[in-house]
């Protein structure tokens, strides 16, 4: 009954905390063929925690409970086709074994360490294991990587001190979707201004993913800057291969250069100025002629 109440009422799952860093899963990534067996291990270093729970994250992000281990006894759920073996105390290893893998076995699997008592202690997640069951006659295919330069129209309406340029990295034509993306400017890895798709998108047999890097216009308009996108593709749980692409920054265009638009503005302004000058000159000339005529008239009367 104590174990039952621990599982049913007192399991509070927590991820991202300092204690979650003490829960380890291995491997983080793995591929398998249909019909074979997959093993995932979990261990923790949290004092007093003697239970490990196992979950499968479904495609709709819901968590399916697979079973748990209490100290040294495993209790898998009925109908989930798994076994749970090992031990669940601090420093020991618990193993989840999935028999006869099928395409539906592809998912992210999580373990969580728990202290069984009546005080409602949290259960802390591990980092997860992404398992992909490979589709028949569908070979592992590495990604093609390209880096696209910023749009010429970007930041036209922004203030000079706020102008930003967006570079886009596209990784495409890969299978399965076990990838991660990173950026460098020169030899320095950058994370500020980076936004990567949360998951790869599948189109037909293959996947694609995009990542964006936003930098200041000043950084982009420096030809010596080299912008590198690296896609790490997991060949298996122990090996990954990096594929990279890069572009250099470009030279800023001469803002003083004469363009057709600028030429038209200048000529129109010159025409207007010239027209105003002609009108003023005509008025001034008429006024001078009027004064001369008046002076001549006054002089003729005096002589008479």
Tokens at 14, concatenated:
């927590």
Burial class of residue 133 in the structure, from the number of CB atoms within 10 Å of its CB (0-12 exposed, 13-18 middle, 19+ buried): buried
β-pairing, 122-125 vs 12-14, is parallel
What's the first-to-final CA gap in the chain, in angstroms? 139
- Compute the distance between CA of residue 231 and CA of residue 207 in angstroms, rounded to an integer: 13
Reported as a single tens digit per residue, the pLDDT across 219-261 is: 999 999 999 999 999 887 678 899 999 999 998 875 444 445 5
Confidence of residue 3 (pLDDT cuts 50, 70, 90): very low
Quick check: helix, strand or coil at residue 96? strand
Contacts of 38 (CB under 8 A, 6+ apart): 30, 32, 97, 98, 101, 105, 131
Quick check: helix, strand or coil at residue 91? coil
Query: Is 71:49 a contact under the CB 8 Å cutoff?
Result: no
- Compute the distance between CA of residue 280 and CA of residue 75 in angstroms, rounded to an integer: 101
Confidence of residue 282 (pLDDT cuts 50, 70, 90): confident
Query: Is 32:133 a contact under the CB 8 Å cutoff?
Result: yes
Q: What is the pLDDT of residue 18?
A: 63
Residue 300 has pLDDT above 60, yes or no: no
Residue 193 has pLDDT above 90, yes or no: yes
Mean pLDDT, rounded, of the chain = 84
Which of 73-87, 89-103, 149-163, 286-300 shows the lowest per-residue confidence on average (mean pLDDT)?
Answer: 286-300
Task: Spell out the SS3 assignment of 210-233.
Answer: EEEEEEEHHHHCCCCCEEEEEEEE
Q: Do domains 2-133 and 144-248 have the same CATH topology?
A: yes
> Does the domain spanning 144-248 belong to CATH 2.60.40.10?
yes
Q: Tokens 């291969």 sit at which residue?
A: 241
Residue 109 has pLDDT above 70, yes or no: yes
Contacts of 257 (CB under 8 A, 6+ apart): none
Query: Is 201:170 a contact under the CB 8 Å cutoff?
Result: no
Domain ranges, ordered by start, for the chain: 2-133, 144-248, 258-299
Supply the CATH classification number for the domain 2-133: 2.60.40.10
pTM: 0.72
Reported as a single tens digit per residue, the pLDDT across 9-55 is: 344 455 545 677 899 999 999 989 999 999 999 999 999 999 999 99
Query: Is 22:48 a contact under the CB 8 Å cutoff?
Result: no
């Amino acid at each position: 009954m104590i174990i039952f109440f621990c599982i049913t009422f007192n399991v509070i799952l927590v991820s991202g905390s300092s204690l979650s860093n003490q829960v380890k899963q291995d491997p983080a990534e793995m591929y398998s063929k249909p019909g074979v067996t997959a093993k995932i291990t979990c261990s923790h270093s949290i004092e007093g925690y003697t239970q490990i729970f196992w979950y499968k994250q479904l495609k709709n992000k819901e968590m399916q409970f697979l079973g748990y281990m209490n100290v040294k006894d495993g209790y898998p759920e009925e109908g989930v086709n798994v076994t749970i073996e090992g031990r669940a105390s601090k420093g020991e290893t618990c193993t989840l074994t999935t028999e006869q893998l099928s395409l539906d076995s592809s998912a992210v699997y999580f373990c969580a360490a728990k202290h069984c008592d009546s005080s409602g202690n949290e259960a802390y997640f591990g980092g997860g294991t992404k398992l992909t069951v490979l589709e028949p006659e569908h070979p592992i295919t590495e990604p093609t990587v390209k880096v696209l330069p910023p749009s010429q129209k970007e930041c036209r309406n922004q203030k000079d001190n706020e102008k930003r340029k967006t570079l886009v990295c596209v990784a495409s034509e890969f299978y399965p979707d076990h990838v991660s993306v990173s950026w460098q400017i020169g030899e320095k890895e950058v994370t500020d201004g980076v936004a990567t798709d949360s998951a790869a998108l599948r189109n037909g047999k293959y996947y694609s993913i995009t990542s964006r890097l936003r930098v200041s216009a000043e950084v982009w308009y420096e030809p010596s800057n080299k912008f590198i996108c690296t896609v790490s593709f997991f060949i298996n749980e122990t090996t990954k291969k990096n594929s990279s692409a890069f572009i250099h920054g470009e030279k800023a265009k001469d803002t003083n250069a004469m363009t057709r638009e600028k030429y038209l503005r200048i000529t129109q302004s010159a025409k207007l100025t010239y027209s105003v000058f002609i009108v003023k000159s005509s008025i001034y000339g008429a006024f001078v002629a009027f004064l001369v005529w008046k002076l001549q008239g006054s002089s003729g009367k005096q002589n008479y």
